[in-house]
């Protein structure tokens, strides 16, 4: 099989007596779009935050690009991208200023930055809005922009935490086109989502229920195995077994 870029082993997070993530383990392979699904409170955001180094695990191990996230954080950080659930660009800054800032902190300089700005504006059709504050843009554009900014330094892996929340179906579609484009460039995409139609777009999906991995396979295999028509039904059957509610 292909090269594994993320290895998760026995990963656990406890908040007091509550075990949010309970000994999960899986591999994510290079260039794939890995969907991370789960109901609210299933522990997917917690797991993801541990995988990209934002949260210290209670126990277990995470390796990203062969490096241990706990000890080699700084090296890993240069090579990953992240787009949080909350909007991750600065509202009060212009598109250009945001791109300059995020590019600059990843070590991009003068010409390279200018090139990125032009490229980005072109891709989103934002040429005339490049010097407008981000808060004046519609949400869909903001999300797409945030994604492009998250991958502008050509990371090996990008983590997307519910990137299409609150966005209309057309924009979601466009957003996924951007994701495909990134995957084609060899960027591994780790994405959490609520939308089951989006699960269909993933190469493999991992469904979390009550802090455990309930299923992990290609969407079509899962449907076949569970004799369901859609991912929605697959998810529904698995999630129904959940004991805890948020």
Do 147 and 83 form a contact (C-beta atoms < 8 A)?
A: yes
With 0-12 / 13-18 / 19 or more C-beta atoms within 10 angstroms meaning exposed / middle / buried, residue 234 is buried
Q: According to CB under 8 A, which residues from 70 to 129 bind other proteins?
A: 74, 77-78, 80-93, 97, 100-107, 109
What string marks each residue from 132 to 151 as x (binds other proteins by CB under 8 A) or -?
A: -x------------------
Residues forming beta bridges with residue 80, ordered by sequence position? 157
Least CB distance to other proteins at residue 28 (A): 17
Least CB distance to other proteins at residue 124 (A): 19
User: Which is nearer to other proteins, 78 or 244 (by Cβ)?
Assistant: 78
Least CB distance to other proteins at residue 161 (A): 9
- Is 64 a binding residue for other proteins by CB under 8 A? The answer is no
User: Which is nearer to other proteins, 46 or 88 (by Cβ)?
Assistant: 88
Using CB under 8 A as the binding criterion, the count of chain residues that bind other proteins stands at 32
List Cβ<8 Å contacts ≥24 apart for 91-94. Answer: 91/133, 91/134, 91/135, 92/133, 92/134, 92/135, 93/133, 93/134, 94/130, 94/131, 94/132, 94/133, 94/134
For 143-173, b/e burial (b = at least 16 CB within 10 A) is bbbbbbbbbbbebbbbbbbbbbbebeeebbe
What string marks each residue from 157 to 196 as x (binds other proteins by CB under 8 A) or -?
A: --x-------------------------------------
Residue linked to tokens 């999300």: 143
Least CB distance to other proteins at residue 107 (A): 7
User: Which is nearer to other proteins, 53 or 60 (by Cβ)?
Assistant: 53
Least CB distance to other proteins at residue 56 (A): 10
User: Which is nearer to other proteins, 159 or 201 (by Cβ)?
Assistant: 159
Q: How far apart are CA 136 and CA 128, in angstroms?
A: 13
Helices 110-124 + 139-150 axis angle, to 10: 140
Do 121 and 152 form a contact (C-beta atoms < 8 A)?
A: no
Q: How far apart are CA 28 and CA 31, in angstroms?
A: 9
User: Which is nearer to other proteins, 150 or 231 (by Cβ)?
Assistant: 150
Q: Which residues bind other proteins (CB under 8 A)?
A: 52-54, 74, 77-78, 80-93, 97, 100-107, 109, 133, 159
């Amino acid at each position: 099989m292909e090269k594994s870029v993320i290895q998760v082993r026995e990963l656990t997070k406890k908040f007091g007596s509550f075990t949010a993530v309970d000994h999960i383990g899986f591999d994510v392979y290079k260039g794939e779009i890995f969907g991370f699904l789960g109901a609210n409170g299933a522990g997917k955001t917690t797991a993801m935050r541990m995988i990209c180094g934002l949260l210290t695990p209670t126990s277990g191990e995470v390796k990203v690009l062969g490096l241990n996230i706990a000890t080699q954080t700084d090296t890993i950080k240069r090579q990953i991208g992240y787009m949080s659930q909350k909007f991750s660009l600065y509202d009060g800054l212009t598109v250009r200023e945001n791109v300059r800032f995020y590019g600059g902190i990843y070590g991009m300089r003068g010409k390279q930055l200018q090139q990125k700005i032009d490229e980005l504006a072109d891709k989103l059709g934002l040429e005339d809005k490049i010097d407008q504050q981000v808060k004046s843009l519609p949400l869909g554009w903001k999300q797409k922009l945030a994604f492009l900014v998250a991958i502008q330094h050509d990371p090996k892996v990008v983590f997307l935490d519910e990137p299409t929340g609150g966005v209309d179906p057309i924009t979601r579609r466009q957003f996924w086109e951007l994701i495909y484009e990134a995957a084609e460039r060899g960027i591994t995409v780790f994405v959490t989502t609520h939308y089951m139609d989006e699960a269909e777009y993933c190469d493999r999906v991992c469904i979390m229920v009550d802090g455990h991995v309930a299923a992990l396979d290609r969407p079509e295999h899962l449907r076949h195995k569970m004799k369901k028509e859609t991912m929605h039904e697959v998810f529904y059957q698995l999630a129904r077994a959940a004991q805890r509610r948020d």
